[in-house]
Every structure is written in C-alpha cells, then in structure tokens.
Amino acid sequence: MTVWWILDIVLLVVVVPVVIYLLAGVLSEARGIVPSVRRIGAAAAAGSADLDAVPLLLTTQDQVIRTIETAANYGGSLDVILDDAREE
Amino acid sequence: MPAPGVVLILTVVAIVLVLVFFLVSTIVALRQITKGLDEAIASVVEIIEKTAPVEEVVGTINQYLDAGVDLLEGLLVKKAGMRDAVGLVDGLYPGAAEAGFRNFPESTEITAPRISEVYTKGTLTLARLGREAPIAAASPIGGAVLRNVTGGSLAARSLYPEVRQTRPERLDRSPVTGTDSPVQYEPSDSPGVRRRLPGGTAVLDDPAPARWASSVARRRRPRRTTHRALRPPRRRARRCPP
C-alpha cells in the first residue's frame, strides 16, 4: 500500500509537471512560428506584386533596341561627315 | 478499490486530458503554419514565374547597351583622338579618365587634358567641329585653324560706322559719369538740349535740335529717358519755295 502511495506522489509531483512543461513549450514554440509564417507569406505576396511591372521590361527592351539603332544611324552619319582625328 | 488506486487513475486521467489539450492546440498551430507556408509558397512560385524571362530580357538589353557603348566609344576615339576623347569624357564625368574606355585599355594610361576647366562644352564642340571657331586657336588639341582669327575680327568692324571702322582712335572718349565724376552735367529740360555745358559755352550749334526740342516741349509728352529720346532728331528734307 505504501508503494502505491509513493507512486501516486511521484506521478503527481514529478511526471505531471514535466509533461505539462514540455507540452507547454512545444505549444508556445508552435504558436510563435505562426506570426513569422504569416509575415513571410505577406512579404512573398508583396514581392510578387512588385514584380507585376516585369513585363514592362519587354517595352524597355524594345526602346533600348530602337535607341541603339538610332544612335548607330547617327554614328554612321557622323562618321561620314566628320574627319577622323589626326594621328599624332 | 483502494484509495491509492483511485488517486492513480485520477492522475492518469488528468495527464491524458492535459496531453489532449496541448496536443490539440499544437495541431491547430501547426495547421496555421501549414496554411501560411502554402500562401508563402504560392507567392514564391509567382515570383519565380514572373522573374523567369527577366534574365533573357536583361541579357538582350545589356547586349544592345554594350553595342551602343562600343559604338560611341569607337566613334569618339576615332573622331576626337584618344587624348581628347579621354579629356572630354573626364570633363563630363570627373574621374572617369582613370577608368578609361572599356574597349581601349590604353586609355587608362593617358593623362586627361583639363578641357572642361578651360572651355565650355559648346565652345569645345565648335572647336572640334572643323576648327572654324576663333577659340580653336587655343584649342588643347593643337590642330590647324581654318579661320583667320585676326582677319575675321577686322572684318566684323565693317558692320560699324566709318569712323569706328577705319579711325577708331578719333572716336571721343566715353564720358565719366556718376555723382563723383570730374565733370558734372546738369540735367536737361528737353531731350537733346542741355541747359549749359560745363565750360559755359553755347548749348548747340545746330538750331535744328533746338527747334525739335521746343516742338517736343510744346507737345508736353511724358518724358522718357530711353536712349531713343536722347538721340538727335533726324533732319527732314524740306523744299523751300523759290
């Protein structure tokens, strides 16, 4: 009978607090991850929204091509109408 | 049932209840994490999809820009010469001479002439384009001047009246004016007519300006102190009866 009482006391005084402590720690860490994950999701969504202008790079590409072509045309004309520098 | 057995059963039941509570809460938290990660992964997938063609497009843009740089550098060096080209670029972007031209490694060894400190960009442009500007005589490039600077300057004198054109030394000296000037002139009542010259001599030899001035005074126009009002009147040719 005494052994049973000792087991009960050990169970109540040692096992139960340890179990509660460990489970509480796991739960608090799991709940602490939730806001971080939400912030990650919000940042990824914002980053994705910022990249909505990426298709405009195609327009930029066309403009750059036209600009360089125009500069090449002017350069060709200048090459014709201007004398080259004299060799020193 | 003995009392210790009842206490043991109650303790085990309590432990199970605590386990259920914490584990269910943990499961809920993990589900929230999973949901958040799913959203984040979806956004990351969008980012990957949107940025997929960027490399190709930016590569094409860089390719054309590189071609443009090659074109402009080559043209500048070809037309202005390496030394002046480095000077011009360094004048526009101070310190760029140290980096030199990308396609001309030898440009880093050239000491850039201080072109922009002496001449403006427009003057430099004129000096480079054919050396027809007078400033081309002092051009750092040291090329031949196509225009006779001295002759060009004398030719411009023909635009002025004859005395100034051929005998500029006979021109009257400009009067010294101001409150501290050695000769004080009294203000006139009418344009072109002085009350009295500083030496006390006659006012004007030509009566025509006086007549003009009196007619102006009779009109009582508001006096304007512009250069046009101080100009002598023009003589109109009058035909007198025989």
For residue B87, which residues of chain A lie inside 8 Å, CB to CB? none
Q: What is the ipTM of this complex?
A: 0.73
B141 Cβ contact partners less than 8 Å away, ≥ 6 residues apart: B80, B81, B83, B84, B127, B128
Rounded to whole angstroms, how far apart are CA atoms B121 and B130? 15
Tell me the Ramachandran region of residue B164: left when phi exceeds 0, alpha when psi lies from -120 to 50, beta otherwise: alpha
Q: Identify whether the C-beta of residue B104 lies closer than 8 Å to the C-beta of residue B82.
A: yes
**CB-nearest partner of B51 from A7, A51, A58:** A51
HSE-up of residue A48 (Cα within 13 Å, Cβ side): 17
Domain residues of chain A, as ranges? 2-81
Report the pLDDT value the prediction gives residue B237, as an integer from 0 to 100.
45
Q: Identify whether the C-beta of residue B96 lies closer than 8 Å to the C-beta of residue B104.
A: no
How confident is the model over B102-125, as a mean pLDDT? 74
pTM: 0.47
How confident is the model over A18-33, as a mean pLDDT? 92
- Computed over every residue of chain A, the mean pLDDT equals 89
Q: pLDDT: is B175 or B47 the higher one? A: B47
Chain A / chain B CB contacts < 8 angstroms: 148
Question: Which residue in the block uniquely carries the two structure tokens 């050695």?
Answer: B182
Q: Identify whether the C-beta of residue B217 lies closer than 8 Å to the C-beta of residue B189.
A: yes
A41 and B43 in contact by Cβ < 8 A?
yes
- Per DSSP, the residues of A46-58 read HHHHHGGGTTHHH
DSSP B109: G
Tens of pLDDT, residues B13-33: 988 999 999 999 999 999 999
Whether the predicted pLDDT of B102 surpasses 50:
yes
Tens of pLDDT, residues B184-231: 777 767 776 666 665 554 444 444 444 444 544 454 444 444 444 444
Quote the minimal CA–CA distance from B39 to chain A in Å: 6
Please check whether residue B19 touches A, CB under 8 A: yes
Whether the predicted pLDDT of A14 surpasses 60:
yes
Instruction: Return the residue of A nearest to B69 by Cα.
Output: A68
Instruction: Return the residue of A nearest to B20 by Cα.
Output: A23
Residue of B20, B27, B28, B33 to mutate for A, most A C-beta atoms under 10 A: B33
Report the pLDDT value the prediction gives residue B80, as an integer from 0 to 100.
86
